[in-house]
Structure 1
Amino acid sequence: MAKRMIIMLLLVALVLGGIFGFEAFRAKMIKQFLAGFGNQPQTVATTVAGQQPWQPQLSAVGSVRAVNGADLSLEVPGIVDQIQFKSGEDVKAGAPLLTLRSEDDVAKLHSLEAMADLARITYERDQKQFKVEAVSQQVLDSDAANLKNDLALAEQQRAIVAKKFIKAPFDGRLGIRQVDIGQYLQAGTNIVTLQALDPIFVDFTLPQQALSQLQLGQKVTAVIDAYPGQSFTGELVAIDPKVDTATRNLQIRAAFKNPDHRMLPGMFATTSIDTGTPQQFVTLPQTAITYNAYGSTAYLVDDQGKDDKGQAKLQARQVFVTVGDTRGDQVAILKGIKAGDQVVTAGLVKLRNGSPVVINNSVVPSNDANPVIKENQ
């Protein structure tokens, strides 16, 4: 019995030893495989860091708005009698646009004007009679009051009749007509929009820290995605004297000449204002920088000499960098990289400090200071 127990224990030990030995062997092989894989050269794209002139700028997004713009409507209700404009045409201030039916109001106006004329005749006759003491001062005063009252009623009715007509309040371009002849309009119904398009404003906001860099008359450049590759030049015309307490931002307004009416109210615009004098900075594509909570980093490529086959041995080295402003696809480097350094611009995700690399610059990230969105043809 004891002999059988010993044999069983030996068999169990042999089986367990085989299992643990296999697991140790497998772990060793996996470790060797991963180590060998980690030493495989990683393919990256690189660029040589160089200095470029860098114009400090303040950038913001804003909206285009007309110098004068209004959705026209009438103060009184009525039925549309005449439409005297065409959608999309340019009009001058005072041009008639629309008339409501006003026969009853005009007839009432004539009646009130006739009563005012009669009151005037009566007053003038009583003035002559008063001179010969044919009427009393009381009668003359009553005639004067009646005349003033009738004139006021006629003027009131004249104002009501005038509200049956709408005229262009300023020069501008009309939008699309929203009403038709014979349509009954409630007071305040939108008839058409009128927008003054030249000059035109762009409103945007900047943080309060930018106030010391702003002054009236400063050049402002605007880019609108409706016109890729083009920019519009204007000038700063107004700075709001109050800072928004919720955002601590300043409201800024720039004016642009717009003779061809290409900029339209409501458009989205990206604005920039040059500040200070141009400086020289090392610039890199933004893809070359990895932003982390503990600091921004980049990878440099170091030449480690030749391998056994006579080929260059290249190695990635991680460095901390201090970055400045951005423009387009570029970022300014203030510290950590100098002109002439070879910097990795693509393939950073698979790198670690000391990784061997192979350079392939057949496809490189964009490095344009003023990128343009290209429309699909």
Structure 2
Amino acid sequence: MHASAAWAQSPPPVIAANAEVKPWSDPIEALGTLRADESVTLSATVTDTVTEINFRDGELVEAGQRLIQLNDTEERAQLRAARAHEDERRNALNRVTQLQARNLSARADVEDNQARLRQATAEAEALEARLANYRLQAPFSGRVGFRNISLGALVTPGMELVTLDKLDVMQLDFNLPEVHLGQLSPGLALTATSAAYPNDTFEGEVATVSTRVDPVSRSVTVRAEVDNPSFRLRPGMLMQVTLAPTPRETLVVPESAIMPEGQYHFVWYLDASDNHRVVWREVTLGSRREGEVEILSGLDHGDLVVAHGTERVREGQTPELLGVLDDDTSVSELIRQESR
């Protein structure tokens, strides 16, 4: 019985922690959808048959590279005829100009031949421009999709022939509640993860914040750019986005020091001026992160609180302080050091 009384009166062992001012950032999380930085579906604008296909499924192509050639034999013949007519008009203009220089021809004849040459040149240029419709070229460097046509196939205007996506940089679109609008700005860093690559994190930054807030959902659309040098990301993928706004300095204690009671929160404060006597003190909490909580009021920088052993102490006790936690010492290490 005497031993039980002695045990009850013995100081309870505790491990303390300092309330410290640390950098703190409230992460913002959202779900986003990937889009190619540039994306286009190439289609025909004329009716004719395919004579060349210069790519393979999924191949990387360069800007300006010819992908598909349609039969343009008739148009080339028309262009040759137009160029011949242009040469004829140019020769006629040269003859009239020489005659006019010797006063053997009227100035009006020169002007008429100049107009005829300009008309012939315009007709040839129009035919040359039409020839471009028979050549489908890559408007930018990227990766082509599946080939859905074969040599000899007849294509018609509007028929989709192949897709082309620029994938070295991806656009990531996501929505955030308007309350975060003040924390968003171009250049804000973010990380993104995908279920397809659970062990990898992709880095990017905010490129644009929409100029409008949706009046129904009260959300704003954000577009970020994510580097994709290995082309593993694909348009349409779902990404888990985490933004890290500019860190602020705030007071932090270990989450294990917090004792909730209803809607209120308390800590066991250790009064250093009174032999670390235990005081039950109410605190106001801010945000939380793994293992730590932000203190808005109730403590000051450097205050000691009970971080482990909170269930053993009572108001007014003077506990046995086993040690003070820091970034380099764990609870198990403190206990091990004390037991030696």
**Structure 1 stretches lacking a partner, 5+ long:** 1-49, 285-295, 298-321, 343-377
Residue 222, structure 1, aligned to residue 192, structure 2:
yes
**What aligned pairs does 1:120-131 form with structure 2 within 5 A after superposition?**
120-131=90-101
Query: Which position in structure 2 is the counterpart of 1:182?
Result: 152
CA distance in 2, matches of 1:64, 1:270: 11
Is the Cα contact below 8 Å between 2:253 and 2:292 reproduced in 1?
no
CA distance in 1, matches of 2:287, 2:127: 65
Is the Cα contact below 8 Å between 1:323 and 1:331 reproduced in 2?
no
Taking a change above 3 Å as real, the CA distance of residues 339 and 72 of structure 1, as seen in their structure-2 partners, is farther
CA distance in 1, matches of 2:42, 2:64: 13
CA distance in 1, matches of 2:288, 2:198: 20
Q: Helix, strand or coil: the match of 2:212?
A: coil
Q: TM-score, normalised by structure 1?
A: 0.60
Q: Give the CA RMSD over aligned residues.
A: 3.3
CA distance in 2, matches of 1:327, 1:179: 55
Q: TM-score, normalised by structure 2?
A: 0.67
Q: Helix, strand or coil: the match of 1:216?
A: coil
Residue 238, structure 1, aligned to residue 236, structure 2:
no
**Structure 2 stretches lacking a partner, 5+ long:** 1-16, 257-261, 264-283, 297-305, 312-340
Taking a change above 3 Å as real, the CA distance of residues 174 and 323 of structure 1, as seen in their structure-2 partners, is farther
Q: Which amino acid aligns with 2:233?
A: M
**What aligned pairs does 1:55-70 form with structure 2 within 5 A after superposition?**
55-70=25-40
Q: Which amino acid aligns with 1:187?
A: P
CA distance in 1, matches of 2:76, 2:144: 29
Q: Which amino acid aligns with 1:73?
A: S
Q: 1:132 aligns with which of 85, 93, 102?
A: 102
Shift of 1:111: 0.6
Shift of 1:242: 3.1
CA distance in 2, matches of 1:333, 1:242: 33
CA distance in 2, matches of 1:76, 1:147: 29
Q: Deviations over 1:149-194 (max 9, x none)?
A: 1100100000111110011111111111111111111112111111
Using CA pairs under 8 Å that are at least 6 residues apart, name the structure with larger relative contact order, 1 or 2: 2
Q: Which amino acid aligns with 1:139?
A: D
Q: Which amino acid aligns with 2:110?
A: L
Residue 146, structure 1, aligned to residue 96, structure 2:
no
Shift of 1:113: 0.8
CA distance in 1, matches of 2:192, 2:114: 64
Shift of 1:107: 0.4
CA distance in 1, matches of 2:238, 2:159: 28
Q: 1:249 aligns with which of 198, 219, 222?
A: 219
Query: Which position in structure 1 is the counterpart of 2:276?
Result: none
Q: Aligned residues, how many? A: 257
Taking a change above 3 Å as real, the CA distance of residues 167 and 114 of structure 1, as seen in their structure-2 partners, is same
Shift of 1:271: 0.6
Is the Cα contact below 8 Å between 1:174 and 1:193 reproduced in 2?
yes
Q: Which amino acid aligns with 2:241?
A: T
Q: Deviations over 1:86-108 (max 9, x none)?
A: 11111111111110001001001
**What aligned pairs does 1:19-58 form with structure 2 within 5 A after superposition?**
55-58=25-28
Range 243-252 or range 105-114, more displaced: 243-252
Residue 192, structure 1, aligned to residue 162, structure 2:
yes
Q: Which amino acid aligns with 1:232?
A: F
CA distance in 2, matches of 1:236, 1:179: 39
CA distance in 1, matches of 2:161, 2:72: 18
CA distance in 1, matches of 2:293, 2:49: 65
Shift of 1:116: 0.8
Taking a change above 3 Å as real, the CA distance of residues 327 and 126 of structure 1, as seen in their structure-2 partners, is farther
Q: Helix, strand or coil: the match of 1:266?
A: coil
Q: Could you say which structure has the larger radius of gyration?
A: 1
Shift of 1:243: 2.9
Q: Deviations over 1:171-218 (max 9, x none)?
A: 111111111111111112111111111122211122222121122222
Is the Cα contact below 8 Å between 2:288 and 2:294 reproduced in 1?
no
**What aligned pairs does 1:1-20 form with structure 2 within 5 A after superposition?**
none
Q: Which amino acid aligns with 1:253?
A: R
Q: 2:80 aligns with which of 93, 104, 110?
A: 110
Q: Deviations over 1:281-305 (max 9, x none)?
A: 7769xxxxxxxxxxx99xxxxxxxx
Taking a change above 3 Å as real, the CA distance of residues 87 and 331 of structure 1, as seen in their structure-2 partners, is farther
Query: Which position in structure 1 is the counterpart of 2:240?
Result: 270
Moved over 6 A (4+): 281-284, 322-328, 330-335, 338-342
Taking a change above 3 Å as real, the CA distance of residues 155 and 327 of structure 1, as seen in their structure-2 partners, is farther
CA distance in 2, matches of 1:323, 1:260: 43
Taking a change above 3 Å as real, the CA distance of residues 324 and 189 of structure 1, as seen in their structure-2 partners, is farther
CA distance in 2, matches of 1:183, 1:89: 21
